[in-house]
Amino acid sequence: MSDSPGESNHTSKIQKLYELRVCSKGIGAFATKDIKRGQRILADTPLLAIPKARYFSVDIEEAFAKLSLEDKKRYFELHSAHGQSTSNWPHNIHQDVSASERERIEEQHNARTGQEASLISIFQTNCMEMGQGAAVFYEAARFNHSCNASAFFSWNARIGRETIHATRDIKAGEEITLCYCDPHHDVALRRWELKHYGFECDCPACEDLDDPDSFAAISAQRRYRLRELDDMVSGIRSRNPKSAAPSSEHLLTCLLEMAALQLDEGLWTAELAYTYLDIAIACEAKGDLDNALSAARKALQVTFDCRGPDCEDIRYYVSVVRRVKQSMSVS
């Protein structure tokens, strides 16, 4: 690919590639035509936004009050994961938790276990990260979850929209799915995270765990190893090739295994891009510029595919490619 990505598959006016249909999960987004990996499927504006991560019910109420009547109606069309059994959740809050945080936890717990949909229960069920805060996106909220998702969502601050890109080729008629949780987590932890949305995942990575030859069992082994490797390298990853040098050999071995496992799992996401970027910097630190350039270009390609050429970080990825090329030209 070019070291300065263009706008292919990412036009300002996106041709609609999906339709909403009733399905076993309620409503889902289904491809209306074949979609190639890297195509932008959606660029959605916030319906209701909260500019801070630790929000309270009053924050949602104030934001909702500013919506038009039509947008208020659209907000209440979205799913709410209320009505959950209190037995599924902890009954006590630790004594060291501050009064303010205790209030926030209780508000969210009451919304999940309440008998009716509320502003906060709908927000909790549908919100996505938006910079330092969170927002509900009317169209993006319709895309269902899979631990083996076919698309990736991320907030693009440069255009002020939540974007969804295909992370693999998707056939016409196939449901387009997103991963709501950390895909490196094991099944038990993913189930806990997804319980906040009011469902238990039945995707291929979560079913038939008792069969050692099933995809789920093999996937569980790969993801367990990914978590191990993640823990091993978390303290030694570096964006600076000079500081990476002392640990680059051990780091590189771990990162190469991580990339292989992520590819085996089909995780063509920002996490794979970060892994390739760290491989590039580790190779650069040890003077292996050929492999550094190869990895840097892969990091750029994955970022281009899953977040788009207009995402905030794309310039940094391009700068790493150019830096390595410049080093090669003078070596």
Alpha-carbon gap, residue 220 to 132, rounded angstroms:
31
Residues 124 and 113: beta-carbon distance below 8 Å: no
Reduced to 3 states (helix: H, G, I; strand: E, B; else coil), residue 62 is helix
- Please name the amino acid found at residue 120: I
pLDDT per residue over 159-178, tens digit each?
A: 999 999 999 999 999 999 99
In a domain, 313, yes or no: yes
Residue 258 has pLDDT above 80, yes or no: yes
Instruction: Scan for tokens 């999960």, then name that residue.
Output: 25
In a domain, 303, yes or no: yes
User: In this predicted structure, what is the pLDDT of residue 25?
Assistant: 80
For the chain, helix (H) and strand (E) counts, in that order, are 11, 10
DSSP 143: P
Residue 118 has pLDDT above 50, yes or no: yes
Own/partner contacts of 275-279, CB < 8 Å, gap of 24 or more, are 276/302, 277/239, 277/317, 277/320, 278/233, 278/237, 278/238, 278/251, 279/252, 279/255
Q: In a 10 Å sphere around its CB, with 0-12 CB exposed, 13-18 middle and 19+ buried, how is residue 312 labelled?
A: middle
Average the pLDDT over 302-314 and give the result: 96
User: In this predicted structure, what is the pLDDT of residue 245?
Assistant: 46
In a domain, 312, yes or no: yes
CATH number assigned to the domain comprising residue 258? 1.25.40
Residues 19-56 as b or e (16 or more Cβ within 10 Å = b): eeeeeeeeebbbbeeebebbbbbbbbebbbbbeeeebb
Alpha-carbon gap, residue 37 to 305, rounded angstroms:
7
Instruction: Scan for tokens 């491989």, then name that residue.
Output: 279
Span of 79-88, 148-157, 246-255, 314-323 with lowest mean pLDDT: 246-255
**Against a cut of 0.75, is the pTM above it?**
yes
Residues 165 and 40: beta-carbon distance below 8 Å: yes
Residues 104-143 as b or e (16 or more Cβ within 10 Å = b): beebbbebbbeeebbbbbbbbbbbbebeebbbbbbbbbbb
Average the pLDDT over 131-153 and give the result: 96
Residue 13 has pLDDT above 70, yes or no: no
In a domain, 110, yes or no: no
Domains held by the chain: number: 1
In a domain, 28, yes or no: no
- Any idea what the Cα angle at residue 142 is, between residues 162 and 80, rounded to 5°? 110
DSSP 148: T
The per-residue pLDDT of the chain, averaged, comes to 90
Average the pLDDT over 104-117 and give the result: 89
In a domain, 61, yes or no: no
Residue 17 has pLDDT above 90, yes or no: yes
User: In this predicted structure, what is the pLDDT of residue 63?
Assistant: 98
Distance of CA 297 to CAs 33, 216, 258, 320, 324, Å? 29, 31, 17, 9, 10
In a domain, 262, yes or no: yes
Instruction: Scan for tokens 């295994």, then name that residue.
Output: 257
Residue 4 has pLDDT above 80, yes or no: no
Residues 37 and 96: beta-carbon distance below 8 Å: no
Residues 142 and 27: beta-carbon distance below 8 Å: yes
Greater confidence (72 vs 91) lies with 72
Residue 248 has pLDDT above 80, yes or no: no
Span of 18-22, 31-35, 98-102, 132-136 with lowest mean pLDDT: 98-102
Residue 7 has pLDDT above 80, yes or no: no
Contacts of 13 (CB under 8 A, 6+ apart): none
- Any idea what the Cα angle at residue 140 is, between residues 139 and 144, rounded to 5°? 115
- Please name the amino acid found at residue 229: L
Residues 288 and 190: beta-carbon distance below 8 Å: no
Q: What is the domain range of residue 272?
A: 215-330
User: In this predicted structure, what is the pLDDT of residue 106?
Assistant: 87
Q: Which of 64-78, 187-201, 226-240 tops mean pLDDT?
A: 64-78
pLDDT per residue over 88-101, tens digit each?
A: 888 888 889 998 88
Average the pLDDT over 13-23 and give the result: 84
In a domain, 48, yes or no: no
| Residues of the chain above pLDDT 90, percent | 67
pLDDT per residue over 182-222, tens digit each?
A: 988 989 899 888 988 888 898 889 988 888 889 999 999 99
Average the pLDDT over 129-140 and give the result: 96
